[in-house]
Structure 1
């Protein structure tokens, strides 16, 4: 097992927010990369949430920028750091600009033959499982039930390692809160067979302030994906509970997605997502807060710029469908 090469691959995955991130500095074993995206996203027919669109277009455009660095300490140990922020457009008739950036990631770590350990605001261990089916425009809600399984979480310590000749990806995390009774943890693994079939399992649990007083939470997630040639298909399932004073709030989620890459830059995607709870964490009157089919077509002009058209058929009660037009430039 080439552990040094594996540790380098883990560090690259943690640090690179964009596959096109450009190296702007390299000297004496220390390098610095800058990347990001500029993305126009316009929603028509209805808002992506299912709410009625009163005007002609809901502008969901955004700009992201990230900075990542890596430094060689010894032949077997290196350090890294990463920061990413996002600025969104205010979709309003009064033309107000958004002058603030939202912090997405901020972490530093060490990597070596043991894998990589990082500290800061970053994804939990379960996110590598939700990403198996999170390939579309509207996918990705499997991770959003509890903090212990979500992305971009503060006070997060993460371990990542590759084993069995790169076939097994293991991640573990612990969220150490500054507040009483808000610590949590997670563990996940994905094993990919030589035939292209990936099998993932994970569990997260802990306390958080979803309700007052602090609620005890737990979540299980499983996933399968399969890659052959230009075809990719995946499915994830999650279930768990939030224990509150009035009783347990149980939740479940399903997400299935697939894509096919045609020649000359065309990609076709389809997805189905459904997430529900006894009481929604954001609205106690909505048991089912996602139930939709997504159809997306993408065209890559080159590796830096792509366009896409996505249609969301919303099956929630009294919810509108949505049509999204996007143009994205990665750097």
Structure 2
């Protein structure tokens, strides 16, 4: 059993509305998980894991807690043959996108617009194999919803990745994912195709951590609403003693203006201080997105996030 309690405060003009002129917004959350493993023999075991995230509901007329399923999966794993799991879990693509998704706050934005590349989705069957320096993963989705932005929901698709450790400090990976696309979530509406290919590189040496990810392909809401896109994600961090400083870069740009609400262009700096199970941090996001590439003014605002996380 495990989890964390994380209290966070966000300050940005993007939090303002016609009814509320306050820059401040609470972003606190709680995550609770439980997992288990039972050995069948010396090599094969059964596994199961689930995790939920809880937040205070901003609607005073409803329940005061909103809950989201982050993980809910089970399967089998073998030291020789890898692991096969099914449920609400990471996609195969997540192994590569985690190279750069290392900051407490502002990292890992570019892969959330495709069900097969998002960090988590339901209805996922995933196979993962690692041996020596090689990692191979493949996942398929059936009528799946992702935890990211709802560009495509109730989608069918697949993703495959391969990564290789060139040295003890340097790892390189390639991946491809494809899903049908339907913004309405209805099987009777027309579908387009989401195609995403990626290349990722990670370097770690003592306290230095450097990583970069590139993504490209096509994104769609329906068969007649599609666009090509390019995206990049980078992380540069240094850990010394109980401290970490890092800088991140997130960039996503779709060619068609109808997808401007998805565009991202930002640089963030962050400092974290570790106190055993507790982590205090502050991060500032410099938003570089131009008005012409954004769908709304709030999409171009800077942000400040401060937080305290206790893991147990």
2:283 is matched with 310
Contact 2:57 2:65 in 1 (8 A): no
The one of 51, 62, 66 aligned to 1:100: 66
**TM score, norm. by length of structure 2:** 0.85
Distance 2:51 2:225 in 1: 38
SS of aligned partner of 2:215: strand
Report how far residue 47 of structure 1 moved: 4.2
2:158 matches 1:199: no
Distance 1:117 1:81 in 2: 11
1:240 is matched with 217
SS of aligned partner of 2:263: strand
Q: Give 1:1-331 correspondences, 5 Å limit.
A: 34-47=1-14, 54-91=21-58, 98-112=64-78, 113-136=80-103, 137-163=105-131, 165=132, 167-177=133-143, 182-210=155-183, 212-242=189-219, 244-246=222-224, 248-263=226-241, 265-279=242-256, 284=258, 286=260, 289-302=263-276, 304-316=277-289, 317=291, 318=297, 319-331=300-312
Structure 2 unaligned segments of length 5 or more: list them: 146-153, 292-296
SS of aligned partner of 1:286: helix
Contact 1:242 1:250 in 2 (8 A): yes
Contact 1:46 1:323 in 2 (8 A): no
> Deviation per CA, 1:96-131, whole angstroms, max 9, x where unpaired?
763232111110000112100001111111111111
> Deviation per CA, 1:68-111, whole angstroms, max 9, x where unpaired?
0100012221100010100113457x697632321111100001
SS of aligned partner of 1:146: coil
1:178–1:305 Cα change, 3 Å: closer
1:11 is matched with none
RMSD: 2.5
1:307–1:111 Cα change, 3 Å: same
Report how far residue 313 of structure 1 moved: 0.6
Q: How many residues align?
A: 288
Structure 1 unaligned segments of length 5 or more: list them: 1-33
Report how far residue 287 of structure 1 moved: 6.3
Report how far residue 247 of structure 1 moved: 5.9
